[in-house]
Structure 1
Amino acid sequence: MEMWYDLISQYGYVSIFFLLTLGIIGLPIPDEVLMTYLGYVTSIGKLNFFMTVFSGVCGSIAGISISYLIGIKLGEPFIRKYGAKLFIKEKTVERTKKLFHKFGAYMLFVCYFIPGVRHVAAYLAGITGYKYRLFALFAYSGSVVWVLFFVTLGNRLGSNWEIIYGFTQKYLHHMLFFLITVIVIAIMIYLLYCRRKGGTTREL
């Protein structure tokens, strides 16, 4: 972690952008730990909170967009051949496929909060031919929520960020995944209700 901290100290927001970009693509960068630390740094005034969030969001959007384009242009053979070099395991690919089958495009929003899966989701979205508009809607909004959450967490925890993070990390992903799943299901039910109501109205 010290290497990442040194980069941030020297290059500031530019390094945040590139670290988050590379982390989303698949390099072994501890994204949540990094963002929580960044939140702490904003709490002591060494970084601006809004610029930190903005840099992180831009970086994660860039990373997930690159992954999506690779999926479109190079397809699944690329993941099969080079996935290991990007630290993407075969079982993670299969797990993500199952989650996509279950949640559809909503998975692009939820994936940020599931370690490993977020590195694969955009590749699979490109491979399976998701329209860019649909991809961007869920992937980019998820990026904003993800970055804002962890930077805010670190900002609120202050100097206790590392101690408390060690505790919350054990349960956080399960809690967030459950919460987001409930929200997604509620949205799907609402949209289905609106569609059926609209159909009934036209019949009348």
Structure 2
Amino acid sequence: MEQILLDFIEFFKQLSYAGIMIALTFEFVPAELVLPLVGYWVYLGDMNLYWAILAGSIGGVLGPLTLYALGRYGGRPLVLKFGKYFFIREKEMDKADRFFQKYGAGVAFFGRFIPGVRTAISIPCGIAKMNVWKFSIYTFCAMLPITALYVVLGMKFGPQWREVGALAKSYLMPVSIVVIAILLVFIAYKMWTNKKKKVQS
């Protein structure tokens, strides 16, 4: 299966940076496979590092936008019917729903760092009809550092780019913990200010 995906990704290489964006639009193609390979292409001198990261980050927005559109125009019933084609099960949907209800629009950014939420979170954003530009900007801001990490590691590892996946996850874990901590502090502050306003009124 991995070889089929690699052949699929290699096909888009002939389209240069646009090919990276298109490949990442397909949610069934793991970014964890595409981006280290892109880093290897940078290592080979076939691509520029900065343009590759930018293309990967834009592609990282286009993919979630397809799920956002599915949620916005199809609703939950359509998602449950076709979500399996994006490797999204009802369990992930329920988790993403709860996450969105609890934390609001900011999940378009924070959710990208949370395992079990990062892919499915686009759907409740769409169902809630979150502003598409806000969704895209939040998603891009989250995808930029993640993309840079995978591409740079792919470039550093060169021919051993396949080893990047496990290493990148170990880097992302502390980042995820920090993001969750910031999110909790923000929620606690929001609850405290709301409580303060109620007391004053």
Q: 1:121 maps to which residue?
A: 121
AA paired with 1:14? Answer: A
The Cα of 1:43 is off from its aligned counterpart by 2.4
User: Judging changes above 3 Å, is the alpha-carbon distance between structure 1 residues 133 and 159 closer, same or farther for their aligned structure 2 residues?
Assistant: same
Give unmatched runs, 5+ long, in structure 1. Answer: none
Counterparts of 1:119 and 1:166, CA distance in 2 = 17
Q: 1:11 maps to which residue?
A: 15
Q: 1:180 maps to which residue?
A: 179
User: Judging changes above 3 Å, is the alpha-carbon distance between structure 1 residues 149 and 186 closer, same or farther for their aligned structure 2 residues?
Assistant: farther
**Pairing 1:151-170 to 2, within 5 Å after superposition:** 151-163=151-163, 165=164, 167-168=166-167
Counterparts of 2:160 and 2:172, CA distance in 1 = 20
| Helix, strand or coil at the partner of 1:117 | coil
Tell whether the 8 Å contact from 1:112 to 1:146 is kept in structure 2 after alignment: no
Counterparts of 2:35 and 2:17, CA distance in 1 = 12
Deviations 1:123-145 (A, max 9, x none): 11111232335423422311222
Q: 2:147 maps to which residue?
A: 147
Q: 1:21 maps to which residue?
A: 25
TM-score computed with the length of structure 1 as normaliser: 0.77
Counterparts of 2:103 and 2:117, CA distance in 1 = 13
User: Judging changes above 3 Å, is the alpha-carbon distance between structure 1 residues 188 and 137 closer, same or farther for their aligned structure 2 residues?
Assistant: farther
Tell whether the 8 Å contact from 2:38 to 2:52 is kept in structure 1 after alignment: yes
C-alpha root-mean-square deviation of aligned residues, in Å?
2.9
**Pairing 1:1-204 to 2, within 5 Å after superposition:** 1=3, 2-23=6-27, 27=28, 29-114=29-114, 117-163=117-163, 165=164, 167-168=166-167, 171-186=170-185
User: Judging changes above 3 Å, is the alpha-carbon distance between structure 1 residues 149 and 134 closer, same or farther for their aligned structure 2 residues?
Assistant: same
The Cα of 1:189 is off from its aligned counterpart by 6.0
Tell whether the 8 Å contact from 2:107 to 2:121 is kept in structure 1 after alignment: yes
User: Judging changes above 3 Å, is the alpha-carbon distance between structure 1 residues 13 and 116 closer, same or farther for their aligned structure 2 residues?
Assistant: farther
Counterparts of 1:6 and 1:137, CA distance in 2 = 28
| Helix, strand or coil at the partner of 2:20 | helix
| Helix, strand or coil at the partner of 2:141 | helix
TM-score computed with the length of structure 2 as normaliser: 0.78
The Cα of 1:116 is off from its aligned counterpart by 5.3
Tell whether the 8 Å contact from 2:80 to 2:89 is kept in structure 1 after alignment: no
Identity of aligned residues (%): 24
AA paired with 1:178? Answer: I
Counterparts of 1:134 and 1:88, CA distance in 2 = 23
Q: Which moved more, 1:5-14 or 1:141-150?
A: 5-14
Q: Structure 1: which 4+ aligned runs deviate by more than 4 Å?
A: 186-193
Q: Matched residue pairs, number? A: 192
AA paired with 2:182? Answer: I
| Helix, strand or coil at the partner of 1:40 | helix
Counterparts of 1:191 and 1:136, CA distance in 2 = 24
| Helix, strand or coil at the partner of 2:118 | helix
